[in-house]
Every structure is written in structure tokens, then in C-alpha cells.
Chain A
Amino acid sequence: MTRYLRYLVPLAIFFILVAFLYRGLSLDPKRVPSPLVGKPMPEFTLPRLKDPAATLSDSDLRGKVSVLNIWATWCVSCRAEHSVLLQLARESTVDIYGLNYKDERTPALQWLQQLGDPYVANAFDADGRTGIDWGVYGAPETFIMDKQGIVRHKHIGPLSVDDLNNTILPLIAELQATP
């Protein structure tokens, strides 16, 4: 019997491998869990996009449920995402803030004029320092904060209508309902 068992070893190894590969199918290798989720949002103070003299800081986002969207005009997926953000602005009472990330002011303002402006206000992060604090490694990314300023959700990549309906809107409604 042991004589035969030996020849089953390759098959056994293969099945262990298959188990991992099967599990792998339902995992997303690009998903990097944000250490920020569950923690207070990072502090920042940046000039506003439309009015460089005024500033936008984390305190503006506190005391209510808020959304921070990281975007840039050089980012092609941000353009794809933009209509979803406009929909979010229409369908929800939530304040959407933008972090204009490593961008230039003129094209960014043109972008908002042409495509529509879903944001309450935009912070202008030219050198990307604030982006680093938020753990941004590519635009677009979207964060949702609760009334205490705790980061509750991070979405990497462009938001789709499905993401909006299945995840973002229910979460916002839930957070807005809790005191």
C-alpha cells in the first residue's frame, strides 16, 4: 500500500494548490486595507482651489458626515468617476469635499466648470503632502467620515453606480442616522 501512496504525493500537492487558487479567486490582490479606517482623520490645512487666500482644514469636515474625494485632472479614471460624484451630490445631503491632488489650478478649475462641481469645497494639494498623510497612492480614492471625524470607509479607484447604491449611500444614511 505504501508503495502506491508515494505516487499520490504529486496529486495531493496539486489539490492543496487548487484550494489556495480557489480561495484566491474571491480575494482581490489590489485591495490594500487602509490603516486609517476606524481612526480619526489626519489633520490638514490647505489653500482652497477656487480661492487660494482661504483655507480648508479637517475641522471643516467635522461635526457631520463627510466625504473626501481625491482627484486630479491628469487622472483618467477620475473623469469616469465624476458623473457618479454628481449623482451622489444630487441624491444625498452629504457634504462632498475634494482633495485636488498633485494638480494645477487652472485645468482643475476648468474641469469643474466643464464637468460640473459636486464639491462643497476643494483643498489644493499641489505637492501631495496631505495625500501622503491620508495614505493616497493613486487617484481617485474616496473616504467617508462619521460625525466624530472617524474614517469609516475607504474606496480605492473610481466609484461606480453600483458602489454608490450598494455601499456608499447606505453607509452615509446609516452614519447620518446615528448621533
Chain B
Amino acid sequence: MIPELGNFALILALCLAVVLATVPMIGSLNNTPGWVALARPAALGQFTFLLISFACLVNAFLVNDFSVLYVAQHGNTQLPLIYKISAVWGAHEGSLLLWALILGTWTVAVSLFSRKLPAEVLARVLSVMGMVSIGFLCFMLFTSNPFERIYPAPLEGGDLNPLLQDFGLAIHPPMLYMGYVGLSVAFSFAIAALIGGKLDAAWARWSRPWTLIAWVFLTIGITLGSWWAYYELGWGGWWFWDPVENASFMPWLVATALIHSLAVTEKRGAFKRWTVLLALLAFSLSLLGTFLVRSGVLTSVHSFAADPARGLFILVFLCIVIGGSLMLYAWRAPDVSSGGKFDMFCRETLLLGNNVLLVVITAFILLGTLAPLIYEAMGWGKISVGFPWFTAMFVIFTPFLVILMGMGPLARWKKQHPGDLARQLRMALLVSIGGGVLLALPLFHGGSIWVGLAVALSLWIVSSLVLSLRQRFRYRKGLAGILKDFGARGSGSYYGMVIAHLGVAFFIIGVTLVTQFDVEQDIRMSPGQTVELAGHTFRFEGARAVKGPNYRADQGTIRVFNQDGQEVAILRPEKRTYTVQTRPMTEAGIDAGFMRDIYVSLGETLGNGDWSLRLYYKPFVRWIWLGGLLIGLGGLLAAVDRRYRMATERKTVATPSATEQLATGSRSG
């Protein structure tokens, strides 16, 4: 009964999405306030029914209702409570429901927190989100219904994939989806503005905080995914350039370009067409990611069960959403005024440079991801694109990106004398080149040119940030003045920028040091045997059988000592066999540290208590995720900047004409 309620709620949500997608939009075009006013209640209704539907599916997992096919496939009575809940989004159908619920949540959030927006604009934004929602709800109801029943119901469920029975992966998909779907807000704002025919600073100011929040979720989601892969897959990798990872990384890159470009549009009124295109692209790429994951056109470790019918459905949906929006763009963009004038060299051009680089990197990743498909479609045979391609691309483009990143915050808007900027930055240049050269010398770990480059780039970011902070504090009197500045308007975005850029510096150091200096060893060890690795002594104490709630495991014990013979850590890596899905799983033993991780994973038993073990020493690997978290934190600070709340209030009160124009511009444009 309850699953039927869930299905019914899903159908009602679809009906409300259809109302939301049509009525307010039409009302906004022919000026019918009653129709426009329907946007908010429709959004709220859709959300409510999605929530009911989602709750029904959660309930089906909690009560082990194996008459529901999806629960029978992915649930199990032995699953711990938290994984019964996370199993809801552990596979295709349920994760789509989560997608739809999150989209509903964003829609309601926009309707609640944008009360200052002119009603027509809000109606259009919500309508566009409703259109996206229709696509996903139809997809679910017609090809992937999570409430489908089976008869006779099995006695026990097929269990959640053991890989997903982990806390990191329980929260990784919701975070990532919050990011993907959050980009639909920026997308809808862009479409609404294109329909209205007026893209201006107000539009940028409205969509900026939403874009930032979505971007923060995406950042955290990707960081979590990388961290999870590191400790769960058992071979110490943190990024694989897998199609699905790329599918999350591409929208992130474009969204990164978008938040920078939005800043220019908001502050200077420039780059409007470019910004709107980025807003369309960011969400388009997250939809494309969905297609790649769920259609089975590419092989990936993350692939959901592939089904050509589903693939075709999403492809048609992509054509309508992306094709339609780009068509609208081609039609409306030429009439958008080009906005603020600026010189050849100024903060605008530096930001444009970073934008172009980010988009070029995205294009290369897209090409690398789709290369196997393109090759086969053209009949050129098989190809596999892996680490060398992607790594080379990053090594080539990142330095330019970082150089611009250092210059951007110090450069002036509109007009910047290159000589002045060079004078300001000469200390930063000296520090970074000096530091880089020093570390490239053979004094440190035998010297590595790559480490020198990474250190130089990171120092460049940090020292230019210090210079920028000094410049900012010069006009604030004393410590009190500086503290007061933290709460001022516009401070959130500034300090957010500082923290996020600092995160990039951490990230670069982490990535480079761990790729250059990590040490690993595959070894057969008998109980009591010791082995030396990277200045540490590892002693294998043997393995014993342990029992978990729904698995059995062999658990090894490894004691790690430093050079002075002091014990640093006791690691207990496990080799688990889950009761239902008997695939063996590794659970690495990790001693985490700020400067290094020690990582041990248990291989195969070789008889007589001997085991094959993999030992890793990973310097600075934490800095990768620390960088990711700092980047996310920076974005969060920027998103909660007081300016957005105050500015929107002032704008609507002081210049109603400007916003009205945006709303009614469809007829004049």
C-alpha cells in the first residue's frame, strides 16, 4: 500500500511540475498576475509530493518490503540502519528520485528566498525549473520506476553493493546531486533573463549566491568522492579520470568559470553574453554527466545498469533542454548590449583569461572522456584515454591559470597599468621563484623540477594573497578596523576568495608531492616479519578472522615504528566478504597525518599465516582534500556575503524600473 502511495505522489508531483512549467510562464508572457502567482504554490506542492514519495521509498527499505523490486535488489534485512537509508540512492531508480527531490528542494528554496525578485522573473525561473523536473519525473515514471512491484516477493534482498556500504559514500551522492541540480538554478535564471531579453547586473547579483552555493556542494561532493575512493578502493589512488568522475569535474570547472564571470557581470556589467553561456553550459554538462552514467555508452566503474531505452530517453531530454536553451541563446544573445568598457589589461581581461583556460580544460576533458566513443563511432577502432593525456593537460594549463590567479585580486577593474601591477607583485615573484628553485635543487628528496614548479606556483598564490590582504588592511585602522572589516559588505566574497585560492595552493602542493614522492611496496609477509619503507618499520603481527554485522573479514595487524623505534601506529586493514554479495572488499588501514599518510591494505592469504600486503607511504596526500575543503569554505563565505541580502533589498526599493524592465523586457526585446 505505502509503495503505491509513493508512486501516486510521484505522479501528482509530475502533474504539479507540468502546471509549474506552463501556467506561470504563460502568465508572465501575457501579463496575467493570477497565473504568475501560481508559481510559488505549485513549487511548494511539487516539493511536498516528492518528499512524500521519497519517504515512502525510505520506508520500504526500513521495513524490508521486498515486494518492491528496487528494495528486493538493493535492500537486505541485515543492513545496518544507515545503509538501509543510503541504499535508497544506491542504484539507478532511487538515485533519480533523490535527484528529483533535490530539484524540488532547490525550486522551493528559490521561491522562498527570492521574495525580493519581481514576480514575473521569479515565475519564469520557477517555470524553467519545473520543465527540467518534468523531464526527470517522466524518465522515472516511464523507464525507471522505483516503486515497481515483483510477485512473488523474495524472502531476502540482494543487498547493497558492499562498495557503497560506507559512510563517505552514503553522503557523497546527495552532496554531488545538490551541486549538479543546484546549477539548474543558475541555468533557470539565465533562461529567464534571455526570455526577458535583459541581462544586467541585477540578474548577475540574483544568480550569484545560488551559483556559489551549488558550486560549494559540488566542490565538497567531489572532494568527498575522491577521499572515499582513496580509503575504500584499497590502492591509495584518489582520482582515476573515470568518465563518471570527469562528468562531475566538467560542470565544476565551468561553474568555477561562471562564478568568476558573474562577478565581472555584477560589478562591471561586462561579459554578459559569455556569463549567460557559461550558466547554460554548466547545467548542460551536469545533464550530460547523467546521460554518460546511466546510458551505458561508456564503460566506467560507476556505471549504473545500462539500458538503451533509458539512454535514448535522456538523449532526447538533453536535446530539448540543452538544444532548446542554446537555440534561445543564439536568438537572444546578439541583442544583449556588450556592457562596461575596459582596457586591454585590467582585472576583467585577467578574469576572462582564467575563464577561457577553464573552458579549454573542460573541452579537453570532454574530448578525452568521449574519445573512446568517437573512435568507435567513426570506425577507427578502440582507444583508451587515461592518466597521461589528462595529466599532461593539467601540467600544461595549470601554471597559466595560477599565474592569472595571483594577478587577478591585485589588478584594478577597467584600467590597469602593467608596470604598476608588476611593481606590486615583484615581492611575490621573487618569493615564488626563489622558493621554487630552492626546492627543485637536489637538497630535498633528491630534487624534482615538478616539485619546484608546484612550490613556486603555490608560493605565488599565497604571496600575492598576502600582498592583496596588506593592500586591503592599509585603509583599515589597526586591529579593530580589520576585525570590523570582516563583517562589512563585500567582505564575504573577498575573504572567501582568499580562502578558496589558498585551497588551490594546498591542492597543488598535495597533488604534486604525493605523485612525486609516494612510495609503495607489494610484499609477502609472515607473522612477526618486519619491512622498511620510507623511514618506517612495518611489523606484520598476523591476521585473524572477525565478524561484522553483515560480513566476515580477515583483519591484519601491522605495527608501524619510526626511525627511533617508537611505535607510530597500529593499523588494522581488513579483507571483507559480505554475506549476500560475496565480492571481496578491502578496507585499508590508514594512519592519517598532516604531512603524510601511512596506508596498508591486505591482499591475499598465502597459507601458513602469510599474507600479501600492500604498503604505501603518501606524503602530503591530505592536502588534496584540505585544499578541496578550503575551496568549498571560501565559496560558502562568498555566498553568505551580506551584500546580496542588502543589495537586493535596496535595488527593488530604489529602482523598481530597472527590475520591471527585466520582467517585461520580453516585449521590448
Contacts and interface: CB of A to CB of B under 8 A. Distances in A.
Interface string A128-169: 000000000000000000000000000000000000000000
Interface in A1-36: 3-4, 6-8, 10-11, 14-15, 17-18, 20-27, 29-30, 32-33
Contacts of A33: 382
B372 to A, nearest CB: 7
A25 B280 CA distance: 25
B308 A10 contact: no
B176 interface: no
A14 B330 CA distance: 13
B319 A7 contact: no
A3 B312 contact: no
Nearest to B303: A29
B446 interface: no
A171 to B, nearest CB: 24
A25 B308 contact: yes
Contact of B373 (A18, A29, A30): A29
Contacts of A21: 291, 295, 297, 315, 318, 373
B649 interface: no
Nearest to A15: B323
B297 A3 contact: no
B377 A24 contact: yes
A18 B315 contact: yes
B373 A24 contact: yes
Contacts of B333: 7
Contact of B297 (A6, A7, A15, A25): A25
Interface string B280-311: 11001000100100011111000000001001
Interface string B363-389: 000000010111011000010000000
Interface size class of chain B, counting residues whose CB lies under 8 Å from the partner chain = 20 to 34
A30 B374 CA distance: 15
A7 B330 contact: yes
A6 B336 CA distance: 14
A11 B295 CA distance: 22
B297 A29 contact: yes
A25 B329 CA distance: 28
B159 to A, nearest CB: 14
A87 B311 CA distance: 33
A10 B329 contact: yes
A25 B326 contact: no
A11 B308 contact: no
Given A14-B322, A21-B315, A21-B373, A29 B296 contact: yes
Contacts of B280: 10
B327 interface: yes
Nearest to A11: B326
B296 to A, nearest CB: 7
B319 A18 contact: yes
Contacts of A17: 288, 370
B323 A32 contact: no
A27 B373 contact: yes
B600 interface: no
B277 interface: yes
Given A11-B323, A27-B377, A32 B334 contact: no
Nearest to A16: B374
Interface string B254-292: 000000000000000000010001001100100010010
Contacts of B322: 14
A25 B323 contact: no
Contact of B326 (A3, A10, A22, A76): A10
B323 A22 contact: no
A29 B322 CA distance: 25
A27 B334 contact: no
A7 B323 CA distance: 13
B460 to A, nearest CB: 33
Contacts of A23: 373, 377
A3 B330 contact: no
A154 to B, nearest CB: 15
Contacts of B323: 11, 14-15, 18
Contacts of A24: 295, 297-298, 373, 376-377
Nearest to A25: B311
8 contacts: A10-B281, A10-B330, A17-B370, A21-B291, A23-B377, A25-B297, A25-B315, A27-B297
Given A20-B377, A29-B373, 9 more contacts: A4-B334, A7-B333, A11-B330, A20-B370, A21-B318, A24-B295, A24-B376, A29-B372, A76-B582
Interface of A: 3-4, 6-8, 10-11, 14-15, 17-18, 20-27, 29-30, 32-33, 76
